[in-house]
Amino acid sequence: MVIFLAKEEAGTAGTAVRPLSNAEAAARLYANALNQLAHENAGLGTVAQIASAVPAFEIRRQSLDKMVGTVTELCKADQRM
């Protein structure tokens, strides 16, 4: 299992991937992917647990097709994903 968090950037020449620290992954998950009201302590423990359990990456993209191709190649190259 792996987490990919997309980031749109105008003028990006291609798809790029960079690893995220546990703290950055938790912050991005908290802000964008979690219903804080559904979890104890507004979900802080939940996002920290998720972010520390699996690798997380930021993927910058121009198009969905390029992003999917990049994720597919990364997963093929690293069987842990």
Domain ranges of the chain: 3-77
- 60/43 Cα distance (integer angstroms): 26
Q: What share of the chain is helix, strand, coil (3-state, %, to 5)?
A: 50, 20, 30
Give the total residue count for the chain: 81
- 2/60 Cα distance (integer angstroms): 16
Amino acid 79: pLDDT: 64
Q: Which of these, 50, 52, 70, lies nearest to 60 by C-alpha position?
A: 70
* pLDDT tens readout for residues 46-81: 888 999 999 999 988 767 888 888 888 888 887 655
pLDDT band at 34 (very low <50, low <70, confident <90, very high): low
Q: What percent of the chain has pLDDT over 70?
A: 78
Our CA angle for 5, 35, 16, nearest 5°, is 5
Q: What is the pTM of this model?
A: 0.74
Question: What would the mean pLDDT of 12-41 be, rounded to a whole number?
Answer: 81
